[in-house]
Chain A
């Protein structure tokens, strides 16, 4: 093992540890949420994950973006096999260790090259869509600043990584042809040869070794850096898309959960034998808030959704409220939940617990105006390529507003009153319910 290998090993270990720490941080933030059991119907869950996350079935509902995304996704997954080789080579100082696969290795490397080129081109098209074509959903208010920069950085990152990979291969290939020491002949390089062949054959062996080493290091350190960029970026979806689809809501979209805490109280109210003055059980847990005021009132699947959000804006672009100029944007709901969970996580880590209650998800991040604009139409949940449910969060926030603060819009309070008094949302008497028959 040379000094280069030791340096590499250290970089690898440091990057992995840092990544593990970042993942721990997000895991903690997700666990700020209340418990919920979503482990029923396992078969269906595996199937959903296989279709939606692995199979990208919802991505292709928009064919252009969907197709390009599949290129990047497949490219990313497969090229990781080459990354595995790069890591082994880096630790042991070998050259293209997987070449022991023989002829198959040539096929492998050649197809990675093709994929790398396709990924690169797809990323260029994505950049054009974001910055020149200016696809509308990337220019909503919640995308200003970091989210928009994040989207571009990811693409630039990927273009740089793919370029480095192809340059590395290009230099390697010329070195192999020259029979340079350490560069035993292995692999087939159709793309890098076409791109860099004529340029690189004109360079000296020393320059080529420098290019090969430089791009090798750039590529692998880039990947390790990217790995640690994920947790502060929407790009973390490449990991969370899988659990998020597995744990996603499998019920009919129109079915809203029945709050158990409410059921208990309603049953008590309707039970003629219940003693209204009975002393509360001293051992009972303090009553939960009805609905959600902050992310800690949401369940952990809802918070995981926020960390899985790719900020693609498909939800918002299909939202009837957003399309007609209302403030509501389901994507913003998810981003707000994530940002608030981040904030609480940070305050906890800094032991500033008393700062936490100075702000709330409801009010400081999401306004009542946004919440009341929702028609509960489920366009957002239908559109989301990773099965996130912004509507469930909107509902929980409304529940808090209505049941804990009685802060529904006046007309809705009238509607509640009518239902309560005469069993219809309008002011008609229950006794007149069958009058239509004789009209």
Chain B
């Protein structure tokens, strides 16, 4: 039941003298990574369906600088930050939503000191709000009764204390949320953070995502739920490595919500 996406840009809105409720910060993965693009589109389906007046920066968006900063390149990070802040302040942005915990963390925590003061929310919190304000109805659909385990993204959980928003959504799908032995504050990293995504791991006896997918598979899930495009990649690779693609799907929570509501 896929609908044509309606994705206005800030520039278009500004030209019409309008301003959106919220800026959807798509992020680099969400813009360019084939798997993450699906997450982006699923989120836009929900935004469209709920008539959320949103906009994206489109070609005016640039990397937040997160991977540069974690890798130690503070120069590059601040160059990116100042450029982005200038664009966002130019449009008078107040509120930002993003489906990437890395963008979320950087925009929320590191931009204010450099002049970028926005209310920043992660898409799982945003969708919870849509539900709570009655703008979105969530039904379980094909996810009803499924065993779903949720992998905490470091930059959402430990880094910013967001543990419940994603879990609430899984529960609203009438699914069975099964926790891994290491979860919430003790959740194990997927291995992608700190710019690891962009390099080979150091020598060791195992890859971090394999260690983590073992935690997940121990719960005998039908679905491994994520809230981060990088975790999604790492977990998907882990599932492939264990040759479990047939039985276990790795899905972003927003994809589940959209699929269950027949939007995809």
Contacts and interface: CB of A to CB of B under 8 A. Distances in A.
* Interaction A to B: yes
Contact of A423 (B63, B108, B211): B63
A369 interface: yes
A214 B247 CA distance: 72
Contacts, number: 211
B70 A262 contact: no
B260 interface: no
B206 interface: yes
Contacts of B189: 320, 375, 377, 379
Given A256-B110, A395-B70, A434 B58 contact: yes
Contacts of B58: 433-434
Interface string B179-199: 000000110110111111111
Interface string B50-63: 00000010110111
Interface in B197-233: 197-208, 210-212
Contacts of A409: 199-200
A425 B67 contact: yes
A360 interface: no
A87 to B, nearest CB: 43
A324 B78 contact: no
Interface residues of A, number: 66
Contacts of A276: none
A154 B142 CA distance: 59
B161 interface: yes
A395 B72 contact: yes
A114 to B, nearest CB: 34
Given A254-B105, A262-B74, A433 B31 contact: yes
B67 A266 contact: no
A415 B189 CA distance: 21
A326 B197 CA distance: 16
B155 A325 contact: no
B28 A403 contact: no
A318 B154 CA distance: 13
B1 interface: no
A411 B160 contact: no
Interface in A146-168: none
A378 interface: yes
A320 to B, nearest CB: 4
Contacts of A428: 28, 31-32
Contacts of A256: 69-70, 110
A323 B188 CA distance: 10
A416 interface: yes
A259 to B, nearest CB: 5
Contacts of A325: 203-206
A382 B194 CA distance: 16
Contacts of A382: 158, 185-186
A326 B72 contact: no
Contacts of B208: 320-321, 323-324, 375
A430 B109 contact: no
A401 B70 CA distance: 12
A265 B56 contact: no
Contacts of B210: 324
Contacts of A400: 72
A263 interface: yes
A401 to B, nearest CB: 6
A437 interface: yes
Nearest to B62: A423
A431 B59 contact: yes
Given A252-B159, A375-B189, A433-B31, A402 B204 contact: no
A235 interface: no
Contacts of B212: 320
A416 B68 contact: yes
B37 interface: yes
Contacts of A327: 202-203
B202 A373 contact: yes
Contacts of A426: 28, 32
17 contacts: A252-B161, A256-B110, A262-B75, A270-B82, A318-B186, A321-B204, A374-B194, A375-B194, A382-B186, A399-B72, A401-B72, A402-B72, A411-B198, A411-B199, A425-B197, A428-B31, A436-B31
5 closest A-B pairs by CB? A254-B159, A398-B72, A376-B194, A325-B205, A423-B62
